[in-house]
Structure 1
Amino acid sequence: MTEALARLAPGTDQAQALARLHDRAFAGQSRPWQASEFETLLDSEHVFAMGEPRAFALGRVIADEAELLTLATDPASRRQGLARACLAAFEDEARRRGAAQAFLEVAETNGAAVALYLAAGYQQSARREGYYRLDDGRRADALILTKKL
């Protein structure tokens, strides 16, 4: 994937599209975010979404720190470089907004996401034990990963 990803506009239609994609991407793993949650986040001047119809990254920048809130790829479109492109677009927009460092939380059980973030230069800085509740009732630790931008 070589073309630049667009910043996604806020609004109810966009929030509903992001919620549907998030639901597909995280089916069976954790509670999907609702359209109202996306709409509330996107109404903030600090929050932005980068992506296209098959994948997106949602992040926010406050002061000089960026947080990747979620990254989702449609299961039918995985392994095509979309998540990597969305992550890069998130980092570019975060830099543009003045961020010097990025961080994220990821379930340690999400091997594909952990591998993506480590390959992109993120490093584990902390762990939150039992942070995520999985659909099957188990708990998973959250890895907190950081990267200098």
Structure 2
Amino acid sequence: MSVAIAPVPDQPIWPETPTMPALPAGWALDRMSALDVEAVAEIEQRAFSHPWTRGNFENSLKAGHLGLTLRDPSTALIGYVMLMPVVDEMHLLNITIDPVFQRHGYGRLLLGIALATTHAHQLHTMLLEVRPSNTGALALYMEAGFVEIGRRKGYYPATALGREDALVLRRDWSADPSAALSTEEGTV
């Protein structure tokens, strides 16, 4: 099956203070709801060897975590992110692009959205864990200004090797209130 993939608009190199990136024409960014969970879980299954379950997503939404979905002009779900605010920082719990759409800039776009959303919530630090073997994601995070601050031994289930460590990454930025995200509709 061949899928026509729209190009992502050129984005500035990662700004020091996150700003909301432009979406491709006709694309939509929305809050994740319980109605999205089935489609999200299907993408998760295709994207990862050890995916989150439907229950993981349902529990995150029930706990008040911020889920965002990215849809193309046909309203097909392309990707999603799950964010958890904790005191004065945001934890990026999950960010996934449908494998059909990977390597076309949508992960970069969704990470930019996650950073800008964090800033819009007046938080100035984002933390995440990533597998060292996920070299594509790791390269994206480093390009976006994340730095390694630690390692969690045996954090992830792995295949034949037992368990895999998690690298803990952080990105901080200025608390400049003039750079806060605002849109005509408000914050995400």
TM-score (norm 2): 0.71
Structure with max Cα Rg: 2
Count of aligned pairs: 145
- Equivalent of 2:46, from 7, 17, 24? 24
Partner in structure 1 of residue 132 of structure 2: 108
- Equivalent of 2:123, from 88, 93, 99? 99
Query: In 2, Cα distance between the equivalents of 1:100 and 1:33?
Result: 27
Unaligned runs of 5+ in 1: none
Q: Which has the higher strand share?
A: 1
Partner in structure 1 of residue 177 of structure 2: none
What amino acid maps onto 2:63 in structure 1?
Answer: S
What amino acid maps onto 2:162 in structure 1?
Answer: R
1:54-133 map, 5 Å: 54-133=78-157
Whether the 8 Å CA contact 2:152–2:167 is kept in 1: the answer is yes
TM-aligned CA deviation for residue 34 of structure 1: 1.6
Unaligned runs of 5+ in 2: 1-7, 10-21, 72-76, 174-188
Is 1:47 equivalent to 2:71 in the alignment?
A: no
Query: In 1, Cα distance between the equivalents of 2:87 and 2:67?
Result: 15
Superimposed CA distance per residue, residues 80-136 of structure 1 (whole angstroms, 9 cap, x where no aligned partner):
101111111111111111211000000111111111100111000001122211133
Query: In 1, Cα distance between the equivalents of 2:130 and 2:103?
Result: 19
Paired residue secondary structure (1:54): strand
What amino acid maps onto 1:6 in structure 2?
Answer: L
Is 1:37 equivalent to 2:56 in the alignment?
A: yes
Whether the 8 Å CA contact 1:102–1:148 is kept in 2: the answer is yes
Is 1:8 equivalent to 2:27 in the alignment?
A: no
Whether the 8 Å CA contact 2:31–2:69 is kept in 1: the answer is yes
What amino acid maps onto 2:84 in structure 1?
Answer: R
Query: In 2, Cα distance between the equivalents of 1:15 and 1:25?
Result: 15
Paired residue secondary structure (1:91): helix
Whether the 8 Å CA contact 2:67–2:80 is kept in 1: the answer is no
What amino acid maps onto 2:94 in structure 1?
Answer: T
What amino acid maps onto 1:82 in structure 2?
Answer: Y
Query: In 2, Cα distance between the equivalents of 1:144 and 1:7?
Result: 27
Q: Which has the higher helix share?
A: 1
Paired residue secondary structure (1:16): helix
TM-aligned CA deviation for residue 137 of structure 1: 4.3
